[in-house]
Structure 1
Amino acid sequence: MAAGEAVQVRPTRRSRRALASGATLVSILLLLFGLPWWTLTIAARWPAPVVAAGTAVFAVALVALPALMYLGHGRRRSDAAARAGDALLGLVWILFVWALLGNVARLALTAAGVADPTRSRAVAVGVAVVSAVLAAWGYAEAMRVPRVRRVDVTVDRLGAGLDGVRVVLLTDTHYGPIDRARWSARTIEVVNVLDADIVCHTGDIADGTVDQRRAQAAPLGTVRARLLRAYVTGNHEYYGEAQGWVDHMRTLGWEPLHNRHHVVERDGARLVVAGVDDVTAGSSGLAGHRADHGAALAGTDPGLPVLLLAHQPKQIGDAVAAGVDLQLSGHTHGGQMWPFHYLVRLDQPVVQGLSRHGRTQLYTSRGTGFWGPPFRIFAPSEITLLTLRAGQRRPDLLRQE
Structure 2
Amino acid sequence: MADSESTRVETDVRPDEGGSPRPRRSVRRRLGGVVVFLVLGLLFFVPWWTLFASGVDWPFPVFLAGTVVFAAWLVSFPFLMVAGHGGRRADRAARFADSTLGMVWVLFTWSLLGGLVHLVLIGLGVGGDGGPDRARIVAVAVAVVSAGLLAWGHYEAMRVPRVKRLDVHVPRLGGGLDGTQVVVLADTHYGPIDRARWSQRVTEAVNALDADVVVHAGDIADGTPVQRREQSAPLGTIRSRLAKVYVTGNHEYFGEAQGWLDRMAELGWEPLHNRHVVVERGGDSLVLAGVDDVTAESSGLAGHRANLAGALAEADPDLPVLLVAHQPKYVAQAAAGGIDLQVSGHTHGGQIWPFNFLVRIDQPVVHGLSRHGERTQLYTSRGTGFWGPPFRVFAPSEITLLTLRSGPAAG
- TM-score category, normalised to shorter length: over 0.9
> Partner amino acid for 1:381?
S
Alignment of 1:271-350 (within 5 A): 271-350=286-365
Q: Compute the displacement of 1:14 (Å).
A: 3.4
Name which of 341, 349, 355 aligns with 2:370.
355
Q: Compute the displacement of 1:5 (Å).
A: 1.8
Alignment of 1:22-41 (within 5 A): 22-41=33-52
TM-score with structure 2 setting the length: 0.93
Q: 1:392 to 1:344 in 2, by over 3 A?
A: closer
Deviation digits for residues 196-235 of structure 1 (CA, Å, limit 9, x no counterpart)? 0000001000000111000000000000000000000000
Give the Cα–Cα distance (whole angstroms) in 2 for the partners of residues 310 and 128 of structure 1. 40
Give the Cα–Cα distance (whole angstroms) in 2 for the partners of residues 130 and 4 of structure 1. 55
Q: Compute the displacement of 1:340 (Å).
A: 0.1
Deviation digits for residues 25-75 of structure 1 (CA, Å, limit 9, x no counterpart)? 110011000010011001111111111111001000000111100100011
Alignment match, 2:228: 213
Asked if 1:170 corresponds to 2:185, the answer is: yes
Asked if 1:119 corresponds to 2:134, the answer is: yes
Name which of 234, 238, 241 aligns with 1:226.
241
Name which of 265, 268, 285 aligns with 1:253.
268
Please list every run of at least 4 consecutive aligned residues from structure 1 whose deviation after the TM superposition is greater than 4 angstroms: 6-9
Alignment match, 1:48: 60
Give the Cα–Cα distance (whole angstroms) in 1 for the partners of residues 48 and 226 of structure 2. 41
Give the Cα–Cα distance (whole angstroms) in 1 for the partners of residues 244 and 320 of structure 2. 18
Q: Compute the displacement of 1:108 (Å).
A: 2.2
Q: 1:133 to 1:7 in 2, by over 3 A?
A: farther
Q: Is the 8 A contact 2:191 2:223 kept in 1?
A: yes
Alignment match, 1:70: 82
Alignment match, 2:4: none
Give the Cα–Cα distance (whole angstroms) in 1 for the partners of residues 71 and 227 of structure 2. 33
> Partner amino acid for 2:279?
V
Q: Compute the displacement of 1:289 (Å).
A: 0.5
> Partner amino acid for 2:46?
L
Give the Cα–Cα distance (whole angstroms) in 2 for the partners of residues 74 and 30 of structure 1. 21
SS at match of 2:228: helix
Q: Is the 8 A contact 2:15 2:21 kept in 1?
A: no
Q: Is the 8 A contact 2:118 2:135 kept in 1?
A: yes
Name which of 195, 205, 214 aligns with 1:190.
205
Alignment match, 1:5: 17
Alignment match, 2:389: 373
> Partner amino acid for 2:401?
L
Q: Structure 1: which 5+ runs fail to align?
A: 394-401
Alignment match, 2:9: none
Q: Compute the displacement of 1:4 (Å).
A: 5.8
Alignment match, 2:6: none
Give the Cα–Cα distance (whole angstroms) in 2 for the partners of residues 112 and 369 of structure 1. 46
SS at match of 1:210: coil
Q: 1:257 to 1:57 in 2, by over 3 A?
A: same
Q: 1:103 to 1:281 in 2, by over 3 A?
A: same
SS at match of 1:211: coil
Alignment match, 1:399: none
Q: 1:6 to 1:309 in 2, by over 3 A?
A: farther
Alignment match, 2:11: none
Q: Compute the displacement of 1:382 (Å).
A: 0.2
Q: Which moved more, 1:287-296 or 1:103-112?
A: 103-112
Alignment match, 2:100: 88
TM-score with structure 1 setting the length: 0.96
Give the Cα–Cα distance (whole angstroms) in 2 for the partners of residues 63 and 154 of structure 1. 53
Q: Compute the displacement of 1:267 (Å).
A: 1.1
Q: Compute the displacement of 1:15 (Å).
A: 3.2
Q: 1:300 to 1:83 in 2, by over 3 A?
A: same
Q: Compute the displacement of 1:321 (Å).
A: 1.1
Q: Compute the displacement of 1:16 (Å).
A: 2.1
Give the Cα–Cα distance (whole angstroms) in 1 for the partners of residues 392 and 408 of structure 2. 39
Give the Cα–Cα distance (whole angstroms) in 2 for the partners of residues 392 and 313 of structure 1. 23
Q: Compute the displacement of 1:256 (Å).
A: 0.4
Q: Structure 2: which 5+ runs fail to align?
A: 1-13
Alignment match, 2:400: 384
Give the Cα–Cα distance (whole angstroms) in 1 for the partners of residues 18 and 161 of structure 2. 56
Alignment of 1:131-210 (within 5 A): 131-210=146-225
Give the Cα–Cα distance (whole angstroms) in 2 for the partners of residues 320 and 270 of structure 1. 21
